[in-house]
Structure 1
Amino acid sequence: MAKRKEGAGKEESWAAHVIGFTGGGRWLIYLSMALSALSSACSFVPFVAVYLVVADVVAVYPDFAALDAARMAGLGWMALGGVAGNIGLYLAALLCAHSAAFDAEYNLKLQIVEHLGRIPLGRLEELGTGRVGKVMDESVGAIEGFLAHSLPDMAAAFTAPAAIVALLFAFDWRLGLAAVACVVAAFGVEAAGFSNKAITEKMRRHLVNQERMTNATVEYVRGMPVVKTFGQTAESFGRLSAAVRAYTDLALDVALFWQSLMPAFTAIINNAYLFVLPVGIALGAGLSGADFRPFALDFIFYLLFVPSIAGALNKMMYISEDSMIIASHLARIDEVLGIPALPVPSPAAARVPERFDVVLDDVSFSYDAGEKGAGEKGGAPVAPLALENVSITVPAGTTCALVGPSGAGKSTVASLVARFWDVGAGAVRIGGVDVRDIDPDDLMGCVSLVFQGVHLFRASMLENIRMARPGATREEVVEAARAAQADAFIRALPQGYDTVFGSAGVHLSGGEAQRVSIARAILADRPIVLLDEATSSLDPENETLVQDAVSRLCAGRTVLVIAHRLRTVAGADQIVVLDGGRVAEQGTHAELMAAGGLYARLAGIQRKSLGWSLS
C-alpha cells in the first residue's frame, strides 16, 4: 500500500490519510467499517443454517418424523436473522459512512479553497482553472465516494475471505484446502498486476494528462474567436491536439491492462468448483454406505458454497482498482495543498501599521523564484528578474504614479505591495512595518485594489459591490456606485441593483465592469489605494467622469497608480519611471519633461499618436 510522509520521519498509508479528512467524524468511518465487517459475516450465517438442516435430514433419513421440529424452526430463524443482519448492518454502515464522507467533502473543499487563498497569486494562475476545477470536483468527489462506499466495502471485502476460509476448513479441511488453492491462484494474478510499478505510474500520468487536456480544451474554447479568425482547427491548435493525443495513448495502455488482468482474475474465481471437484471425486471414490452420506453432504455443500468466493474476491478486485485510482486523486490533492503558502506571522509577532506611507526598499523579485523560499528576508532571487534593486518611497496621503513600457514591472510593484508575492530581496513596508510582518487580513484592511482584470461574481450587482464591505447598507452601496459613475447603468438593468450578473444574458461592458470595481474600492474606504490602469477600458466621455470619481477615492489617501496614458498622471505628487525592472527616472511631471529622458520620449510618442488617423 502506498505510503506518504506524516511529520518528521513518519509515514502513513493513503487510506489513513483519506480517513484523516473526516476530522472529528473519523469515528463514524471506523464504526461503518466495523458494521460492514459484521454485515459480511452475517451473510454466511444462512449457509451454515442450511448445512445444519441438511445434515439433520441426512442423519435421520429415511425416518423424517424423527426430525426435531423446534430445532428446524430455530435454524430457519437463524437463516432469516443472518439475512436481516446482513442487510440492516450494511445499511447502518452506509449511513455512518455517508455522514462522515459528506463532512470530509465539505472540510476538504474548504481546506483547498482556504489554501488557494494563502498561496502566491501567480502560483494559483499557473495551476489553471481546469486543473483546480478537476481537483475540486473529480478528486474531492472521488474521496467522498471512497469514504461513503469503497471503505465500508473494503472492510467487508477483507472480512469475507476470513469467514470463507473459516467455513471451508470447518467441515472438511481437505475440500477447504482445494477451495483455498483457488483463492491463492486468484490473488497471485492480482498481486502480479498491482505490484507492477509501471501501471501505477501510468495511472498517475493518466490523471495528469486528463488535467492537461481539460486546461487545453478550456483555453481553446475561450479563444474560439481568435481560432476561427485565423482559420485554426482543433487539430492544428497544437496544445489541444498534443494533450488529446497524449491522453488517448495512455488511456489505451491503462484500458488494455485492465482488460488483460480482469478476465484472468474472474476466470479463476468464477470456476472455483473446478478446484474442489477433482479432490471431492478422489476422496469419495473409496467410500460407500453410511460413510459416503456425510461426505456427500460436505461435498455438495462445498460445490454450492464455493461460488460465493467469486463475489467476495470480485469485491476485493474492485477495491484494489479503486485504491489505485484514489491514490492518484489523493496525489493530485496533496500536490495542490503542498504548494507553499505565503508565511503568516504568529499573532504574537504580527504588527499593525499606524501610518500608511509605502516604501519599497531595494526590492528585487523574480517570478521564477517567487515560490522558492517566499518570505525569507534577505534571500537572493533567481534571474530573470522582474524587478531589480527598486527603491520607491510614497509618503502617506500622496500619489505616486508608475509609468514605463509594457513589461517594465509596474504591475509587479503593485502586486508586491498587496503581497500577492513576496520579494526575493529587500523589503516592502507600510508605515515602517514589513508587509511580511502584517497579518494578511490586516494588510487587506489597509489596501483597496482596482486592477485591469475585473471579476464579477454570479450575484446581484448590489452584492458584487458589497463584497468590499459585507456590512454595508444598501444606501452606502448606492452612494459608492454613484461616486464611481455606475449608478445610472445599474439602475437601467432589468432589476436594477438586484439584477444578477450573468443571468438572462445580463453582462457588462469593460468600462461598466471597471466602474463596478471602482465602486468596490470607494465602498471599502481603505487608506491605501492601488490603481492599475483603472480607466483603460473607458470611452472618453466616461473617462472624465470616472477620473472625478477616482479623485474623490484618492483624496487624503496613499495612492499608487499605474497608467500608460501619461496625461492622466501629470498631476501626481511623484512619477516613477520603470524600465526593464529598474527605476529609470523619478520626479514630478515638470521635472521629468525637463530632463528629456524616457518619460519625455514616452510623452512625445503619446502626443504624436493622438494625431494618428486613417487615410
Structure 2
Amino acid sequence: MFGEKFKRKFALTDQGVRNARLGAYWTVAANLTSFAGIGFLFLFVKQLMDAMTTGAELPGVLPYVLGLLAYFALSFLVHRMQYQNTYGTVYEEVGTLRKGLAERMRKLPLPFFMGRDLADLSETIMSDVKTLEHVWSHVLGYLYGSYIFTAVVAVVLLTYDWRLAIAALWSVPVAFALLFGSRKMTVKSQAEAKAAALGVSEDVQETLDNVREIRAINQEERYLSGLFAAMDKAEASQTMVELGNGIVINAASVIMRLGIATTIMVGANLIVAGQIDFMVFFAFLLCVSRIYSPFDQSLALIAEVFFSEVSAKRLQAIYDEPTAGGAESFSPKGHDIVFDNVGFSYDGAPVLRGASFVAREGEVTALVGPSGSGKTTCSRLAARLWDADSGSVRVGGVDVSTVDPEVLLGDYAMVFQDVILFDDTVMGNIRLGRRDATDEEVLAAAKAANCDEFVRDLPQGYDTMIGENGSRLSGGERQRISIARALLKDAPILLMDEATASLDVESETQVQEALSRLLVGKTVLVIAHRMRTIENADKVVVLEDGRVAEEGRPSDLLQQGSGLFRHMTELQTLSAGWSI
C-alpha cells in the first residue's frame, strides 16, 4: 500500500511515506476508539434489558464513571497521536519538499529552464505544493486509515452475523465504485482547469512585464479584454470541475446511506423469522449509525486525491529531470579554455558544428560573428551552463562536463549586458560575488568599479535598497555594480557579453575603466557585437554558422582582403556614419 508506486503517485519523500503510514495507522486506532463508544452504549443497554427481563441487578454508578473516564483518556491520547502523525509531521514534510525542490532546480541544467515558462515553474512551486500539502495532511492518513478500519470492522461484523453484515456494508463498495468510475473524467477535467489557471498566470505575468510597451502602442483595452476572457474561461472550467465532483460525491453518499435501510429490512425479517434476537439487531443498528461516518469525508477526500494527481505528476516531472552532476573537486593545470570539435544542438537545431579554438590564460579572446553563429552558446558551454553534444570543452586540461557545475563556477565570474540585480542594498548585491567578504573588501571592489561616486548620492549610501532588478538605478550604474561583484569574486576566468553595448558615452567610459582593472591576468572570453570594442583583444575567434571561420589578432584579420571580420568591421564603420 505504501510502496514506491505510492511514493511517486503523491510525490512523497521516503520520510513522507513513513509519515503517511503512521498517519493511517493512528487513524485506524482513532476510528476504532470512537467505535468503542458504541460498545459501551451496547453493554449498558444490554445490562438494562437483562435487568428488565430477568431481574438481574445493574452495576453501581462507579464502574460506569470509571469506564467513561478511561475511555475519554484513551480517546484523547489516540486522537492526539493521530493529529501529531498527520498534520504535525506533514508540515515538516512540506518544508523538506520545498527545500528539496529548490535544491533540485539548483542542480538542473540550463536547457530545462529555457524550455519552460516562468509562470509554469512558479505554479508548481507554490500552487502544486500547496495542493499536495493539503492531501498529505488532510487526506492520505485519514483515507487509507478508513480503508483499514472498514476492513477490520467488516471482518468483525461478518463473524458476528454475515447476513446483517452484507446488508450493512454492500453500499460501501458500490459508492466507491461510482467514484472510481468517474476518476478518468475527474482527472481530465482537473487537468483542463489547471491548464486554464496556468494560462491566466502566464497572461498576467506577460501583461505586467510588458505594461510599458502595451501603453506605448495604445493596446491596453485589447490586452485587458484578453486577460478577462482567460479569467472567465478558467473560472468556468473550475466551476464545472467542482459541480461534476459535487454531483458524484452526493450520489455516492446517498447510495452509501441505503445500507441503513437494508440493515433495517433484513434485521426485521430475521427477527420475525426468529433467527436473531433483538440485541443482535440493536448492535447492528448502532454500528450502521457510526460505520459510515469515516466515509462521509472519505468520499470528498478521494475526489481530492484525483485532483492531486495532476499536481503530483507536474512535481514528479521535475524530480525525474536528470541533474548536471560531476566531481566535487576541480584542480586544473592553468585556466586555458579549449574547445575541441564541439557540437551542440538546441531542440534539434544545430548551433555549433565542430567548433575548435583556445582561449588562453592571461589573454582576452573575443568571440564575434553574425547573430545565431553560436557566440552565446560557446560562453554557456565554457561555464557548463549547457553540456556539449559532441567534442569536449576543457579548462586547464579538465573536461568541464566531469565537474559539478557549482564547483566549476567557483573559478568563473560573469559580466553580461543584461544585468541581474536583487531587491537588496547596494552592499548586498555586490557581496553576492563573495558572501564571506568583509565590508572593507566590498567597498574596495565598489571603488575599483567606479561605483563610489553614484552610491554616495543615494539616500542611505551602500545601504540603499535599489528595487527589483535595480529599478532605481540607471543602466550604467547597474552595470558597474555587476562589475564590482565580479571584482570581488576575483575568479581566474571571466566571461563577458558586450557589457557596454547599451550604455551612453559617459557610462561606457566609466564601465570600461572598471573593466580594465577586472581583466588583468585572467582568462577572458568576451562576446563582442561592436568591432571597435575589441581592437586591443589578444585574439579574435570569428564564428559563422556554428563553425570557426577565422581566428587571429584583430590587426591581422583586418588585413585579410575578403575575411568575415573585416567585412563586419567595414559594415559597422559605414553604419556609424549614418545620421538623420
> Structure 2 length as normaliser, TM-score?
0.90
Letter in 2 for 1:260: I
Deviations 1:542-584 (A, max 9, x none): 2111101101100111111112222111111112222332223
Letter in 2 for 1:515: R
Are 2:53 and 1:53 aligned? no
Q: Which structure's relative contact order is higher, taking Cα pairs within 8 Å and 6+ residues apart?
A: 2
Which stretch of the first structure deviates more once superposed, 227-236 or 42-51?
227-236
> How far apart in 2 are the matches of 1:534 and 1:419?
21
Match of 1:339 among 321, 327, 348: 321
Matching residue of 2:266? 279
Q: Is the 8 A contact 1:234 1:241 kept in 2?
A: no
Cα gap change, 1:15 to 1:441, in 2 (>3 Å):
closer
Q: Is the 8 A contact 1:94 1:148 kept in 2?
A: no
Letter in 1 for 2:565: Y
Cα gap change, 1:41 to 1:526, in 2 (>3 Å):
same
> How far apart in 2 are the matches of 1:522 and 1:504?
20
> How far apart in 2 are the matches of 1:152 and 1:36?
7
Letter in 1 for 2:299: M
Are 2:130 and 1:179 aligned? no
The number of equivalent residue pairs is 579
Matching residue of 2:5? 13
TM-superposed deviation, 1:34: 2.5
Matching residue of 2:111? 122
Are 2:149 and 1:160 aligned? yes
Q: Is the 8 A contact 1:168 1:179 kept in 2?
A: no
Aligned-partner SS, 1:272: helix
Matching residue of 2:564? 598
Cα gap change, 1:438 to 1:263, in 2 (>3 Å):
closer
Deviations 1:146-186 (A, max 9, x none): 33332321243124323543564576544333112232332
Cα gap change, 1:608 to 1:340, in 2 (>3 Å):
same
| Unmatched segments (≥5 aa) in structure 1 | 4-10, 369-381
Aligned-partner SS, 1:459: coil
TM-superposed deviation, 1:308: 2.3
> How far apart in 1 are the matches of 2:257 and 2:425?
60
Letter in 1 for 2:340: D
Match of 1:142 among 122, 131, 146: 131
> How far apart in 2 are the matches of 1:146 and 1:27?
15
> How far apart in 1 are the matches of 2:221 and 2:317?
30
Are 2:336 and 1:352 aligned? no
Which stretch of the first structure deviates more once superposed, 83-92 or 203-212?
203-212
Which stretch of the first structure deviates more once superposed, 241-250 or 504-513?
241-250
Aligned-partner SS, 1:578: strand
Q: Is the 8 A contact 2:186 2:245 kept in 1?
A: no
Matching residue of 1:322? 304
Structure 1 residues 293-312: aligned runs within 5 Å: 295=278, 297-312=279-294
> How far apart in 2 are the matches of 1:135 and 1:145?
15
Match of 2:346 among 362, 367, 376: 367
Cα gap change, 1:206 to 1:462, in 2 (>3 Å):
same
Are 2:563 and 1:572 aligned? no
Are 2:213 and 1:226 aligned? yes
Q: Is the 8 A contact 1:139 1:333 kept in 2?
A: yes
Match of 2:375 among 398, 404, 410: 410
Q: Is the 8 A contact 2:187 2:307 kept in 1?
A: no
Are 2:30 and 1:43 aligned? no
Matching residue of 1:434? 399
Q: Is the 8 A contact 1:500 1:506 kept in 2?
A: no
Letter in 2 for 1:112: L
Q: Is the 8 A contact 1:22 1:103 kept in 2?
A: no
| Unmatched segments (≥5 aa) in structure 2 | none
Match of 1:549 among 514, 532, 544: 514
Are 2:538 and 1:538 aligned? no
TM-superposed deviation, 1:366: 0.9
Deviations 1:208-256 (A, max 9, x none): 5543442343223312333343344687699979976875675466345
> Structure 1 length as normaliser, TM-score?
0.85
> How far apart in 2 are the matches of 1:438 and 1:273?
67
Matching residue of 2:408? 443
Cα gap change, 1:417 to 1:120, in 2 (>3 Å):
same
Aligned-partner SS, 1:142: helix
Letter in 2 for 1:58: M
Which stretch of the first structure deviates more once superposed, 161-170 or 36-45?
161-170
Q: Is the 8 A contact 1:94 1:149 kept in 2?
A: no
Letter in 1 for 2:210: G
Identity score, percent: 32
Cα gap change, 1:506 to 1:253, in 2 (>3 Å):
closer
Match of 2:57 among 43, 67, 71: 67
Which stretch of the first structure deviates more once superposed, 274-283 or 546-555?
274-283
Match of 1:391 among 345, 348, 356: 356
Match of 1:85 among 48, 68, 74: 74
> How far apart in 2 are the matches of 1:391 and 1:12?
46
> How far apart in 1 are the matches of 2:567 and 2:557?
10
Cα gap change, 1:585 to 1:331, in 2 (>3 Å):
same
- C-alpha RMSD of the superposition: 3.2
Aligned-partner SS, 2:500: coil
Letter in 2 for 1:332: R
Letter in 1 for 2:569: A
